Amino acid sequence: MTKLNQYQTPIFSTLKDVYAKRDIIPFHVPGHKRGKGMDKEFYDFMGPNPFSIDVTIFKMVDGLHNPKSCIKEAQELAADAYGVKKTFFAVNGTSGAIQAMIMSVVKPGEKILVPRNVHKSVSGGIILSGSVPVYMNPEVDDELGIAHGVRPEVVENMLKQNPDAKAVLIINPTYYGAATDIKKIADIVHSYDIPLIVDEAHGAHLHFHEELPISAIDAGADICCQSTHKIIGAMTQMSMLHVNSTRVDVNRIQQILSILHTTSPSYPLMASLDCARRQIATEGRELLTKTLKLARDLRAEINKIPGIFSFGKEIVGRYGIHDFDETKLSISARELGLTGFELETLLIDDYNIQVELSDFYNVLGLITLGDDEISTGKLLEALKDISKRFFGKGKKIGESVGKMPTIPESILIPREAFYSENNRIKFLESEGKICAEMIMAYPPGIPVIYPGERITKDIIMYIQNLKAAKLHVQGMEDSELEYIKIIEEEDAVYLYTEKMKNKMFAVPMNLGANKAGIEFGPEVLEEYFPDTFGEMTYIDIEKQRENFNEWSLKYKNTILNTCEKLAVAVNEAVRDGYRPITIGGDHSIALGSISGVALEKEVGVIWIDAHGDMNTDETTMSGNIHGMPLALLQGAGDRDLVNCFYEGAKIDSKNVVILGARDLDVKERDVIEELGVKVIPYDEVVHKGLDNVLDEIKDYLKIDNIHISFDVDSVDPEFAPGVSTPVRNGFTPEEMFKTFRFLFKNYSITSVDIVEYNPVNDKNEKTMNFVNDLTEFVLNPNV
């Protein structure tokens, strides 16, 4: 039940009874001055009233961007009518409202789950937000040739695969009237404590009649937008955005709408929105009862016509269809040998009837509050006549060409693809290229490929089959699809910058290497580069009582104590949403940093090092623990150290890659082989090429979250002499930056170690400058 007087129309009443009634002399825009400066033919056709209320923002008529009087009251009445916490008037259409919804819940680089068959406004919102779309396949109805909704099971499965997603967007109902189980989807999404946003463009009327599918907000959605101009009576372009949850920041939505909306909104259009709300709130049930009866009666009569078919409630229960909006009238004349496109042309050319849309099999008509027996009767008579003209002619239309290819690999997020340079090449020669266009096929109206995705052989063959079958393919610049726009790898623009906050830890440990100088690394870096290292949290090294007869585990107790303190600090940072960056010190500290991360997330490890660091107390030749942490993290070696922070192994051996090794101990190789760790020695990098090796790592590591543990001695001593255990040859700084860029682009980097910088052995500050440059990249990776 509403609490406010829904018969009021604050905007319309102010314009009509205050501004226009006073016969104001306008010295404000628009320049037509209440129609006096308007083109005469246009003015005569429109009449005087629209121009008498066509005003700009001033105190008397309020302002949309900071409403205080009539617009504020009108939005409050709309919120009351729909039973929501807050309603915004969307004067940039539902397209603008959808973009505002997306931008309000996801930031650059964050994931949002969306159906594959989204409206282009969703793609625009993803581009504007810089977010990463994770596509969900809707259910395809081969018989009807259209896509329905996304099933709850699909949403649940995709969230399990992408638990870091920040929001889920659902289209409900579809253009054709199919409604999914939105209530169940809302419950699933909320179990992850993220918002469900709904493109309810075709559902502004649902809340007002119990025989219609449940509305998004009534089902528990956090935010939705509706085209108030579609089924109910606002003028074209007018929409509403409803918020009904604390998971969405209302102030942020207002801010984003102010950015997207014009600063000169149309007052006549807003007045129509105000009055449309009054109509649906006060007369909605009665009007919709009439509308539903019209739709049902018309559908029943259409289905008596030979060769013509209109589906209805009987499709409820098919995959992706939990309910159906009967005001959506899909009409197929396939049995007459007519495509939907041909049927639309006949209706307009021969009968002066314009439908909403057509696809390969169907036309779609909307039965709205504005229809009556006269309009529906004329449509019925036209369809009867078309049946007489074409029934039994035997013309065949295209059939299905088989299953669509799987969703291709995404190389660039939509924002990056949008800003990348593109050029045209022959479509048949485009395999392996990055697509710069969207290609959509009817049926079923789902994009085969989006910009930023890699073109496959299967996609080329499928689209060739579509063309041969004369099915409708659209979206590309070349309508014949002889040529396609692509993005060359060298032209790709990577705009996504990691937005995760960083927290830096300094661990001045030298006992793992048992060499002086490493302990000064963090302090020297902070002194020379305070902007980079000035906010490090230091982990104190507290000397513990040691058993010096235990030669194979030198300084074990002090190292364990330090690593456990580091693990506690790192774990707290991860839980607070930070990416911990640990600056050493020797490589033994990785036992603490990785343990701290691994308690919260399953991580893979890229261990970039001249050494393997996979000795145990039984295989070590030196007893230095900085040669053991990677084995300990996998559960091999001294039990006290293995159980650092919490019991047992911290990482799975199949999720580990040692990159760039140049010096492995003989017995250490046995440990590596026993655990099954993948090692890519530096010689192999030279032989295969770094690009190929990085692709090999991507194919091998099937895990999203990665910890990078980087030992400076992996770099050639010519470029980084300031280490404790230098080994000849090694990576160049350029190769290291390429490696880091690749890893940040292809994985979620949870945490990073940068260790073994020894200022005592540095020459001309080469190593210090390199470590600073690399750390700056890690803190703000532009990939």
Q: Are strands 578-584 and 748-755 parallel, antiparallel or unpaired?
A: parallel
Q: Is 611 a catalytic residue?
A: yes
Burial 176-214 (b: 16+ CB within 10 A, else e): bbbbbbbbbbbebbbebebbbbbbbbbbbbbbbbeebbb
Candidates 344, 371, 416, 613; catalytic one: 613
Q: Is 609 a catalytic residue?
A: yes
| Cβ-Cβ contacts under 8 Å for 212 (sequence gap 6 or more) | 205, 206, 288, 292, 325, 326, 327
Q: Which of the 8 DSSP states describes residue 634?
A: T
With H, G, I as helix, E, B as strand and everything else as coil, classify residue 164.
coil
Candidates 453, 526, 564, 609; catalytic one: 609
Candidates 62, 344, 756, 762; catalytic one: 756
Nearest to 612 by CA among 564, 566, 570, 675: 675
Candidates 209, 611, 665, 716; catalytic one: 611
Alpha carbon of residue 776 to chain centroid: 27
Candidates 626, 665, 707, 716; catalytic one: 626
| Cβ-Cβ contacts under 8 Å for 499 (sequence gap 6 or more) | 107, 108, 109, 110
Candidates 587, 638, 668, 762; catalytic one: 587
| Cβ-Cβ contacts under 8 Å for 696 (sequence gap 6 or more) | 680, 688
| Cβ-Cβ contacts under 8 Å for 97 (sequence gap 6 or more) | 88, 90, 225, 239, 240, 241, 257
- What DSSP string describes 514-565? T-TTGGGHHHHHHHH-HHHHTTPEE---------TT-GGGTTHHHHHHHHHH
Q: Are strands 705-711 and 328-332 parallel, antiparallel or unpaired?
A: unpaired
Candidates 713, 716, 753, 762; catalytic one: 713
| Cβ-Cβ contacts under 8 Å for 663 (sequence gap 6 or more) | 610, 611, 727
Q: Is 626 a catalytic residue?
A: yes
Alpha carbon of residue 505 to chain centroid: 32
Rg value, the chain, Cα = 32
Candidates 141, 668, 711, 716; catalytic one: 711
53: which 2 tokens?
């209320």
Kindly report the backbone phi and psi dihedral angles of residue 442, in degrees, each rounded to the nearest multiple of 5, phi listed first. -120, 125
Q: Which of the 8 DSSP states describes residue 128?
A: H
Q: Is 711 a catalytic residue?
A: yes
Q: Is 713 a catalytic residue?
A: yes
Catalytic residues: 587, 609, 611, 613, 626, 711, 713, 756
